[in-house]
Amino acid sequence: MATDLTWWETAVIYQIYPRSFQDSNGDGIGDLPGITSRLDYVAGLGVDAVWISPFFKSPQKDFGYDVSDYCDIHPEYGTLADFDTLIAKAHSLGLRIMIDIVPAHCSDQHVWFEESRQSRDNDKADWFHWVDPQPDGSAPTNWLSFFGGRAWSWEPRRQQYYLHNFLPSQPNLNHANAAVREAYKDIARFWFDRGVDGFRLDAVHTINADQAPYKDNAANLDFVPGALPQQQQPFFRQLHDSAQLNQPAIQMFSEAFREVADDYGDKFLMGELHGDDPILASQTFTAPGRLHATYNFNLLAWAGLDVNGLKQAISDAVGSFNGTGRLSFAFSNHDVPRSATRQLELLGLGPENIEAMQLLLLQLETCLIGSACIYQGEELACEDVQDIPLDRLQDPWGIEFAPVFLGRDTCRTPMVWSETAPMGGFTTANESWLPTAKSHYSRAGLDETKRDNSVYNQFAAFLKWRKDQPALMHANTMSDVSGGENQIIFDRIYETQTLRCCFDFTTLTATFKEIE
C-alpha cells in the first residue's frame, strides 16, 4: 500500500560533520571530495538523506557556523564544482542532500557586517542589531551569550553596541529588516537551484527580529548554577519571559523561507530550536506556512537520561505532535557528548556494552514518529573522546572553559575508516585537525561493513526491515509510552498494522510484535 507521507516525514537522516569525515587532499581536514568518496558507505546503511554541517566560506572561528559567504565553499572544503559532484553522486545513490544554513548570525568578516559597522547611514546600517549604550556607557541589556560573557560588543566607529548570542565574531542579523529576509530567500534559491533537497536551519530560536526597546531578561530568584557554562549564568534564557530567544517576529523569517521552499516542490525545512518551552516553540515554528519540522532536543541531554527520563522526553515531544511528521529526533550530534557513552555512564554499565547500547538507541530513535538524525559514528558505536590534549582543543567553547569543560571536540574527532591504515585512513597527513581517537580504531568504518555482527550491519538490516513496516512508514501515529522500570514500550499504528515496539535497557535488546 502506497504512503501519502512525504519523504521527510519518516526519513532517517545521516549527519556529516565535514571537517571530520574524510580528507581527500592530505591537509588533515575533511572536505567535500572526501564526503563524495564515502557516500557508498553511507548509502549502504539504508538511510534516506545526508545532512552536511556548514562548509561555506568562513574564518572558521566556530568552524563554519560563522559564515562570511553563504554562496561559496570554504577553500579547505573544496569548490562549488566539488559540491555539484557530491550532490550528483548522492542522488545517483538515492540519497537526498540537506545542508546547514545559519540564519541568526553571520561572521563579522561577512561583507554585510563589514559595511554595517562603518557608519549609521550606509546601505547595511540596520542589517544588524545596533543599540546605543545606556547613560553610563554600559551594554543595553543584561543578556549573556551562549559562550560566556555579555551578548553585546562595542563598536567605536558607530559608538554603539551590536548583539551576538554566540561569539563576538558572530553578530546577529536584524530579521525585522525585510532586506535581510530577502537576502536569505536568495541564498535558499541559490542552493535549491544546485539540487539541494532541504535545509537544517541552525539555532532559529536565536534569530532576533523584535524591535527596540530591548528588555532585560528577568532574574530567576531560584537560580542554581549547573554543570555547563551556560547554566552558570543567572540572566541566561530565564523562564518563559526571556526577551532574548524565541521572539514572535522570528516567524517572518520562517514564513519567507517556506515560501521559497514551496516554489521548488518537495523540499524539507528542519529548524533547530531550543528554549524554556521547546514543545510550544516547536508548535509555533511548524504552524501552517512555516517550517516543516523542528530538530528536537528532548533526547540530547548533555549528561544523558535515565529510562524514566527517556520515557518522559518522548511522551512530552510526541504528545503535541502525534499523527504528524513535524518532529525530528536525535540522540547525538556535533554539539553534545556521544550518546552511547553518556547513556552507559548514566545507567552504570561498562564499556563492553557500548555496541548493544548504541544499537538499541538507534532502533528506538528510528521507531519514533517523524524523522530521525543519526550522527556520523553512531553506526559504529563510537565512544566520546575525553582524552584530547588541552593544547589540541579547537572548539572556542572548550578552550574558554577547559579543563573543567572540554566543549564539543569530544564528539568531533575524525572518522576512523581502517584499523591498519595510517591515521585510520582519515588523512594521508601526519596530523589531523583534531587527533583521531585510538578507541575508535577497533570499530573502523570500512572494517565494520565487513563484520557480520557489527552495529553498522545490524542497523542496516534493521533499516531494511523498517522500510517494510506499514506502521513505521505509512503513518506517524503511536500509543502512549509504557513499560517497566527499565523498558520503553509503545505501539506504532497504521490501518493495516499495529506494531508493538519494546526496548529493554536491562538486556539492551529491542523486540517487535504485530498486535492483532
User: How many angstroms separate the CA atoms of 33 and 125, rounded?
Assistant: 38
Q: Is pLDDT above 60 for 267? A: yes
Residue 280: CB partners within 8 Å, gap ≥ 6? none
User: How many angstroms separate the CA atoms of 236 and 218, rounded?
Assistant: 9
User: How many angstroms separate the CA atoms of 516 and 512, rounded?
Assistant: 13
Instruction: Write the CA distances from 391 to 395, 399, 402, integer angstroms.
Output: 11, 9, 10
Name all contacts of 257-263 with Cβ < 8 Å and 24+ positions apart: 257/103, 257/184, 257/185, 257/188, 257/199, 257/201, 257/291, 258/289, 258/290, 258/291, 258/292, 259/185, 260/185, 260/188, 260/189, 260/192, 261/188, 261/192, 261/198, 261/199, 261/292
The C-alpha cell 524565541 sits at 246
pLDDT of residue 17: 98
Instruction: State the sign of the Cα–Cα–Cα–Cα dihedral 392, 394, 397, 400.
Output: positive
Higher pLDDT, 17 or 165: 17
Q: What are the pLDDT digits (tens) for 218-248? A: 777 777 777 777 676 665 544 334 667 778 8
Give the pLDDT band (50/70/90) at residue 405. Answer: confident
The domain defined by 106-172 folds into Oligo-1,6-glucosidase; domain 2 (3.90.400)
Give the pLDDT band (50/70/90) at residue 210. Answer: confident
Q: Is pLDDT above 50 for 451? A: yes
Residue 149 identity (one-letter amino acid): G
User: How many angstroms separate the CA atoms of 234 and 230, rounded?
Assistant: 9
Q: What are the pLDDT digits (tens) for 272-316? A: 987 667 788 899 999 999 999 999 888 998 889 999 999 999 999
Q: Is pLDDT above 60 for 410? A: yes
User: How many angstroms separate the CA atoms of 499 and 496, rounded?
Assistant: 10
Q: DSSP string spanning 149-199? A: SBSEEEETTTTEEEE-SS-TTSPBBBTTSHHHHHHHHHHHHHHHHTT--EE
Higher pLDDT, 220 or 129: 129
Higher pLDDT, 450 or 320: 450
Nearest to 208 by CA among 245, 180, 237: 245
Catalytic one of 23, 197, 272, 448: 272
Q: What is the mean pLDDT of residues 440-461?
A: 98
Mean pLDDT lowest for which of 89-98, 274-283, 419-428?
A: 274-283
Q: Is pLDDT above 60 for 156? A: yes
The helix/strand/coil state of 449 is: helix
Per-position b or e across 124-133, b if 16+ CB within 10 A of its CB: bbbbbbbbee
Q: Mean pLDDT of all residues in the chain?
A: 93
Q: Is pLDDT above 50 for 365? A: yes
Name all contacts of 444-448 with Cβ < 8 Å and 24+ positions apart: 444/380, 444/416, 444/417, 444/418, 444/419, 445/38, 445/41, 445/380, 445/415, 445/416, 445/417, 446/41, 446/417, 446/418, 447/417, 447/418, 447/419, 448/379, 448/380
pLDDT of residue 221: 72
Q: Is 272 a catalytic residue?
A: yes
Higher pLDDT, 298 or 109: 109
Cell of 446: 570500512
Catalytic one of 31, 76, 197, 202: 202
131 touches 161 (CB < 8 A): yes
Whole-prediction pTM: 0.95
Cell of 251: 516567524
Q: Is pLDDT above 80 for 3? A: no
